[in-house]
């Protein structure tokens, strides 16, 4: 295994493997990104090919930081989907073709000769936000990410929660509306089927198709497949009534789910990440009205609801924090055998 340079020992690699892009960054022990690189995920080509591009991105990020492999202590990766992280294996990722049973960490360890660790992408963002973001100083924290789906993570008594099958805080698939729209998971009325990216766009398209006048359609020249939540949010801020209505309806469902999480976890802080979280007051004001109206047994006032401080960097920084945590808790192992050693509160059996 490569030995760390005497003058630079606290450098880690954080990798955020997303459905569109792979981003690798060199992160120091203060949470600062020193160098980074990106590659397209090309998810249709499969997870194995994405791992090859991940290794390329890691090497480039190290070069961009002006460092060498000998300066890196360990690698952390956030990967969407369900995993056997102790073994470094993806069980299934809906974002990638041919992802079932794919070894994620073995090729990274073999090629780079460094300890490497992985967890679900939202779990990684949660531990990053807890150490270096909006969750600093809080022992009870919940994080949700709003994007194509809705993901969740939780810190309880200062420890990240993973679950026996690494399914802790799959909050996007709690039922919000019993007979609601069909979700990709097979259930009806899931939170993400009502408030995820596709649900937001669908509501806007349905309103346009009834003939309502809105700047949303003009902005995409009536190519309705080009509508995005960011475009809807911008239109709402510019005074478009249909866009504001879409955001208010979305905020209603988001508020119900957040109120549920406050009742369930009694967190000191709930952090909202993901692109949709940047929508602004047209989303957050009605969202908080719904939260306050529905959280009673554990009052909404007991929990701060805030946007992610790390924003788009949460995945990279959080993955590096995962590597930091493992080396803090266990001595370095040969790269071929290094595996996450979770605390007793994170105990689990492999699925």
Tens of pLDDT along 58-117?
999 999 999 999 999 999 999 998 899 999 999 988 889 899 999 999 999 999 999 999
Q: Is the dihedral of CA 310, 172, 203, 19 positive or negative?
A: positive
pLDDT at 166: 86
User: Could you tell me if 2 and 314 are in contact, meaning their C-beta atoms sit under 8 angstroms apart?
Assistant: no
pTM of the model: 0.86
In order, the DSSP letters of 80-134 are: SSEEETTTTEEEE-TTSTT-TTEESHHHHHHHH-S-EEEEEHHHHHHHHHHHHST
Place of tokens 């000191």: 268
pLDDT at 2: 43
Domains with residue ranges and CATH for the chain: 11-125+312-346 (3.30.420.40), 136-309 (3.30.420.40)
pLDDT at 9: 57
Q: Taking Cα atoms as reference points, which of 18, 8, 10, 11 lies closest to residue 313?
A: 18
Confidence grade of residue 339 (pLDDT, cut at 50, 70, 90): very low
Q: Are strands 141-146 and 150-156 parallel, antiparallel or unpaired?
A: antiparallel
Q: Read off φ and ψ for residue 16, nearest 5 degrees.
A: -110, 105
């Amino acid at each position: 295994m490569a030995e760390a340079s005497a003058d630079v020992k606290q450098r880690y690699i954080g990798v955020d493997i997303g459905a569109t892009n792979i981003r690798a960054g060199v992160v120091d022990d203060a949470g600062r990104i020193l160098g980074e690189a990106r590659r397209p995920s090309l998810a249709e080509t499969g997870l194995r090919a994405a791992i090859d591009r991940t290794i390329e991105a890691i090497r480039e990020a190290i070069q961009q930081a002006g460092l060498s492999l000998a300066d890196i202590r360990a690698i952390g990766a956030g990967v969407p989907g369900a995993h056997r992280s102790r073994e470094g294996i993806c069980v299934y990722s809906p974002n990638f073709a041919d992802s079932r049973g794919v070894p994620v960490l073995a090729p990274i360890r073999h090629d780079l000769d460094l300890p490497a660790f992985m967890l679900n992408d939202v779990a990684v963002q949660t531990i990053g936000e807890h150490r270096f973001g909006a969750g600093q100083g809080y022992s009870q924290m919940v994080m949700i990410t709003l994007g194509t789906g809705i993901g969740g993570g939780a810190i309880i008594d200062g420890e990240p929660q993973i679950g026996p099958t690494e399914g802790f805080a799959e909050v996007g698939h709690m039922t919000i509306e019993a007979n609601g729209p069909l979700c990709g998971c097979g259930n009806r009325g899931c939170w993400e089927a009502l408030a995820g990216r596709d649900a937001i766009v669908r509501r806007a398209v349905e309103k346009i198709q009834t003939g309502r006048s809105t700047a949303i359609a003009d902005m995409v020249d009536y190519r309705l497949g080009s509508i995005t939540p960011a475009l809807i949010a911008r239109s709402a801020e510019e005074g478009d009534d249909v866009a504001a209505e879409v955001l208010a309806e979305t905020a209603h469902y988001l508020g119900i789910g957040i109120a549920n999480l406050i009742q369930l976890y009694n967190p000191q802080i709930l952090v909202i990440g993901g692109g949709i979280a940047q929508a602004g007051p047209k989303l957050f004001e009605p969202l908080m009205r719904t939260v306050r109206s529905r959280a009673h047994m554990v009052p909404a006032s007991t929990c701060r609801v805030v946007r992610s401080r790390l924003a788009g960097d949460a995945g990279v920084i959080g993955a590096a924090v995962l590597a930091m945590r493992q080396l803090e808790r266990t001595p370095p192992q040969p790269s071929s055998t290094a595996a996450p050693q979770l605390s007793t509160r994170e105990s689990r059996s492999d699925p």
